[in-house]
Structure 1
Amino acid sequence: MMRSDTNKLNRALALTLSLGVIFSTVFIGLNRPLLWAGFSTMIGLVAMIYFANLWRVAPNRTLAARKLWPAFACAALVPIWAIVQSIALPQGQGWGSLLSPDLQPSTLSLMPDAGRSASVRFAFYGLWMALVLEAARRVSRGRLMLQILFWGVSAHALWGLLALNVLGDITVWGEAKTTYQGFATGVFINRNSFASFLAMGAVIGVTLLIVPAANQSSHRSTLLSHGNVTNGLYALGLVIIFAALFATGSRLGVACALLACLLCIGVCLAQRGLSAWRIVLGSLGLIALGGGAMALLYGKEGILRLFDLSIAGDVRMAAWGRIWDLILLRPLTGYGFETFRPAYELIHGGTGAGEQIWDRAHATYLSLWLELGLIIGTVPIALFFWAAMVLVRRVHARGRDAPLAIAALFAMLAVGLHSLGDFGLEMPANVFLLLTLVGIGLAPRA
């Protein structure tokens, strides 16, 4: 009876988390302090209810997060350091000539309140991951979560296309857009963050389509068999997602999504036991089919625009050089969590990146190093690579949970590469979706 109660509890948690991350994204990707704070409050309430009930039905159960405690301990260094940066220190700690003496803050952070707020958000990322690890301990629940996430992303993609092409290019609030006119942004404020979100959904769809569930027969006798209908629906969802992805006009986002999906297709086909030449031919065939469909939808000029990086590349390279110089002025302490914009303003002027002042570095890794310093700023990156290595081992083992690991691994690849030149992972909704996928892939199996 205790095991049955635990399964029911974890299934309810799996549904809550999967639906929660999809519905929370509606609120402009949680890209406002009040929005992510409200969502974090809900996470805390869910956690209290879940752990209280888990203790009641299975008091001796070992938590999944405990098995990964070194990773959680390393992750805790980030919010702890953000708090340290926000604590009053002797006047002028290492600010040198960046600020005049009367303007130098008494902390390591330019904006200590922002750092404390960001530390709370990061802590809730950890709590979210702990909940996902519990919910996905069974492979069947993990696959159910992937299915919910895929259809949720598909619904967002459909809304993005409708808002752009049918409803007059409006925001989720029904107002005409003032930025990114002519491009799909969905419920997000900008197209690049939407592209990161869609890329993760595309990888999930590819995995679900090619690698069937363990109880799904690969031999389908009729056209309208359950397996054929299911795969047809997955294919339809993928078409919608890719149509929206191309409609974002996000060059790097599209390229990273296509690369991740291509590699995902190869690995998924290998999981099904296909020979190397069949994998290559199948991948090339799908690329040709997808490319033809996109050309019909957007025309040759629309496709070629996605690969025209000359102007955007020059602008960003110039700004990244200045940002790196800024990092080297405070390589150990950083400028404070969530302080990129005021830090960038310290050196703005004649940057070669136009006269605009960026509020994001358009490179998440540079943001981490600038805000947290080279040591603590590398911690999230190191954890990212550690998780990827664990997932690679699970894929190589070809166990029942291999598809879950595949979806997580290539979602990480898509958004990880995109984050080299953009800030999709600085949107809380995208972080919650990625953490959900990685948690599903890493969860210890019951």
Structure 2
Amino acid sequence: MDQILRRPVVHADEVRAFEGSRALKPAPNTIAAFILFAVIVLAPLPFGSVDPLPIIAWCTCLGIALCMASLRALDTRHFLILAVIAIVVGAYVLVLHEQVAIRPWFPVALPDPVWQAASDALGSPLPASRSLVRDQPILALGAPLAATLCLLVSFIVCIERKRAYQLLAVVAWSGSLYAVYGIGAFLIDPGRVLWMQKQAYFTVLTATFINRNTAAVYFGACAIVWLLLLVERVRQLLPRAAPLAWSMIAYALKRLRRDSMIGFLAFFLCCVAMFLTGSRAGVLLSLLAGGAALAPFVWKAMTFGGRSLGVLLAAAGALLVVFQVLGAGVIGRLDSEGLADGGRLETYRSTLEMIRDHPLLGTGQGTFAWVYPTYRSSAWTSWGVWDRAHSTPLEIASDMGLPVAAIVVAGWAGIFAVLGFGLWSRNRDRIIVVAALAVACLGILHSLIDFSLQIPGFAIVVFALVGAGLAQSFRSLRPPTSAIDDVP
């Protein structure tokens, strides 16, 4: 009783002053989130950020954001994910050191004989390294570093669900703006990308990217995010446990606000830009990923019967009509060239020979363009320059060795396992996990036959979404502190 009487009296004015001082302080990770969102918006702009200067800028910005990010909201589950990421990064850095060091820590492999041949040709000894191009692994470090930093910053920032929803909105709106520019540039002068004349792809849309395949999966990813945002809005307007019927869908569509109509237009523009690229794999995989993203919501709302079947058949028919109208270039390429290029198959065989000769430490990160001509198959035409393997896993194995490639594959398997757990366990905020899972599948599947994830302008978007999905794959251990925290 005496202790209670001795407690200091707190007046209402003091409480209001304290709350006012808290309101003046920025929310946790506000600056880090702003930097992350700015990088996501700007990364596709300078030709997909393939040049060194923008890569340095994004690495610097994301490094600052990571230093300013707060870890207070993380719990044991999140730190376990960070530990796994640290293991993958550690293995990568270890091999990178072995490739560039004059005195490696683990001299398990002899330098390539090309160094002795160069020494004999010059008539003077050259210090050999594990990398076939000296210091190239350091020069090529920027792109994977930017993607890793983006993953870490997004993961930490998007522990707060409001930031995760903001990230989805940033990806969707920036993609629609690039689609508007790409369509306009395609109609005015399709032979130019930004202020430069194209070297290829003169008759198709590439927007701010140099390669049409990367542009296709970028716009496909943005269209998937828009689709999920719109589905979420429609779902919120449907009565709970409502059957999938035209009447319910029409009821929800009538109640949509005007900003949702703008969202439908933005989604359509992203789809048009995607089709105008004429990329076979990019368009087909984007449609496949979009359908897979819709599956959890359709399955939950679907009642097996004639009405649901009619809705699904009508949707499939509408998609087929859209594909016939907008995808004429894709269909033409499928008819004339089929699904695969012969050059890719020969390149894969040559890359496997590179891996066979350098299985442990690879030829050096970023050295594919210099090493590949030695292994290039004579069974295919000598026309053209192949500076990439057109298969990211194969190129990682040839550049960094099989152990690092296996660790990277295991890391992606862990990412998909966590996202799959989030899809199964989360009911609230499932859209964030579904968006990350769909876009990650799109990026990985396309990178099996191309190099889209090696382009920072697209990789930054994918890794940002993956980071948000990983952060939201677990239920919060504490309830929302206010009604505002409970609103996306």
Q: Which bracket does the TM-score occupy, shorter chain normalised? A: 0.7 to 0.9
1:204 aligns with 2:231: no
- Aligned pair partner of 1:218 in 235, 238, 242: 238
Q: Is the 8 A contact 2:360 2:402 kept in 1?
A: yes
Q: How far apart are 1:7 and its partner, in Å? A: 7.4
Q: How far apart are 1:234 and its partner, in Å? A: 2.8
Q: Deviations over 1:268-301 (max 9, x none)?
A: 323x4323567765454333213312423454x6
2:485 corresponds to: none
Equivalent-residue separation in structure 1 for 2:215 and 2:191 (angstroms)? 15
1:20 aligns with 2:49: no
2:404 corresponds to: 376
1:72 aligns with 2:85: yes
1:43 corresponds to: 62
- Aligned pair partner of 1:250 in 260, 279, 286: 279
Equivalent-residue separation in structure 2 for 1:342 and 1:30 (angstroms)? 22
- Aligned pair partner of 1:340 in 341, 352, 368: 368
Q: Structure 2: which amino acid aligns with 1:83? A: H
- Aligned pair partner of 1:267 in 280, 296, 301: 296
Q: Structure 1: which amino acid aligns with 2:373? A: E
TM-score calculated relative to the size of structure 2: 0.80
1:327 aligns to what SS in structure 2? helix
Equivalent-residue separation in structure 2 for 1:276 and 1:327 (angstroms)? 50
Q: How far apart are 1:141 and its partner, in Å? A: 2.4
Equivalent-residue separation in structure 2 for 1:3 and 1:443 (angstroms)? 26
- Give the alignment of 1:264-413 within 5 angstroms: 264-270=293-299, 272-275=300-303, 282-297=311-326, 299=328, 303-306=331-334, 308-310=336-338, 312-348=340-376, 350-413=378-441
Q: How far apart are 1:64 and its partner, in Å? A: 8.3
1:28 aligns to what SS in structure 2? coil
Equivalent-residue separation in structure 2 for 1:308 and 1:81 (angstroms)? 43
Q: Deviations over 1:419-438 (max 9, x none)?
A: 11110011012111111000
1:111 aligns with 2:133: yes
1:141 aligns to what SS in structure 2? helix
1:368 aligns to what SS in structure 2? helix
Q: Deviations over 1:167-218 (max 9, x none)?
A: 4542112x4323210111111111111112112112212211222399x443
Residues 392 and 349 from structure 1, CA distance in 2 versus in 1: closer, same or farther, beyond 3 angstroms?
A: closer
1:244 aligns to what SS in structure 2? helix
Equivalent-residue separation in structure 2 for 1:441 and 1:153 (angstroms)? 19
Q: Structure 1: which amino acid aligns with 2:57? A: G
Equivalent-residue separation in structure 2 for 1:66 and 1:5 (angstroms)? 30
Q: Structure 1: which amino acid aligns with 2:192? A: I
Q: Is the 8 A contact 2:176 2:270 kept in 1?
A: yes
1:409 aligns to what SS in structure 2? helix
Equivalent-residue separation in structure 2 for 1:39 and 1:78 (angstroms)? 20
Residues 414 and 178 from structure 1, CA distance in 2 versus in 1: closer, same or farther, beyond 3 angstroms?
A: same
Residues 86 and 307 from structure 1, CA distance in 2 versus in 1: closer, same or farther, beyond 3 angstroms?
A: farther
Equivalent-residue separation in structure 1 for 2:225 and 2:357 (angstroms)? 41
Residues 94 and 44 from structure 1, CA distance in 2 versus in 1: closer, same or farther, beyond 3 angstroms?
A: closer
1:382 aligns to what SS in structure 2? helix
2:12 corresponds to: none
Residues 265 and 280 from structure 1, CA distance in 2 versus in 1: closer, same or farther, beyond 3 angstroms?
A: farther
Q: Is the 8 A contact 2:176 2:267 kept in 1?
A: yes
Structure of higher CA gyration radius:
2
- Aligned pair partner of 1:137 in 159, 165, 171: 159
Q: How far apart are 1:6 and its partner, in Å? A: 8.2
Residues 387 and 308 from structure 1, CA distance in 2 versus in 1: closer, same or farther, beyond 3 angstroms?
A: farther
1:195 aligns with 2:212: no
Q: Is the 8 A contact 1:211 1:403 kept in 2?
A: yes
Residues 120 and 316 from structure 1, CA distance in 2 versus in 1: closer, same or farther, beyond 3 angstroms?
A: closer
Q: Is the 8 A contact 2:392 2:454 kept in 1?
A: yes
Q: Is the 8 A contact 1:18 1:148 kept in 2?
A: yes
Q: Structure 1: which amino acid aligns with 2:408? A: P
Q: How far apart are 1:224 and its partner, in Å? A: 6.3
1:242 aligns to what SS in structure 2? helix
How many residues in Structure 1 have an aligned counterpart in Structure 2? 435
Q: Is the 8 A contact 1:210 1:269 kept in 2?
A: no
Q: Which moved more, 1:88-97 or 1:312-321?
A: 88-97
TM-score calculated relative to the size of structure 1: 0.87
1:87 aligns with 2:118: no
Q: Structure 2: which amino acid aligns with 1:70? A: A
Equivalent-residue separation in structure 2 for 1:357 and 1:413 (angstroms)? 29
Q: How far apart are 1:153 and its partner, in Å? A: 0.9
1:10 aligns with 2:29: yes
Q: Which moved more, 1:7-16 or 1:127-136?
A: 7-16
1:181 aligns to what SS in structure 2? coil
Residues 124 and 253 from structure 1, CA distance in 2 versus in 1: closer, same or farther, beyond 3 angstroms?
A: closer
Q: Is the 8 A contact 2:175 2:270 kept in 1?
A: yes
- Aligned pair partner of 1:128 in 150, 155, 162: 150
Equivalent-residue separation in structure 2 for 1:280 and 1:203 (angstroms)? 23
Q: How far apart are 1:355 and its partner, in Å? A: 3.2
2:175 corresponds to: 153
Q: Deviations over 1:100-132 (max 9, x none)?
A: 363787111122422113335434433322211
Equivalent-residue separation in structure 2 for 1:333 and 1:364 (angstroms)? 16
Q: Percent identity?
A: 23
Q: Structure 1: which amino acid aligns with 2:43? A: S
Equivalent-residue separation in structure 1 for 2:389 and 2:351 (angstroms)? 8
1:29 corresponds to: 48
Equivalent-residue separation in structure 2 for 1:307 and 1:160 (angstroms)? 26
Q: Structure 1: which amino acid aligns with 2:147? A: Y
| Alignment root-mean-square deviation, CA | 3.1
Q: Structure 2: which amino acid aligns with 1:326? A: M
Q: Deviations over 1:317-338 (max 9, x none)?
A: 1221111112111111200111
Equivalent-residue separation in structure 2 for 1:302 and 1:397 (angstroms)? 38
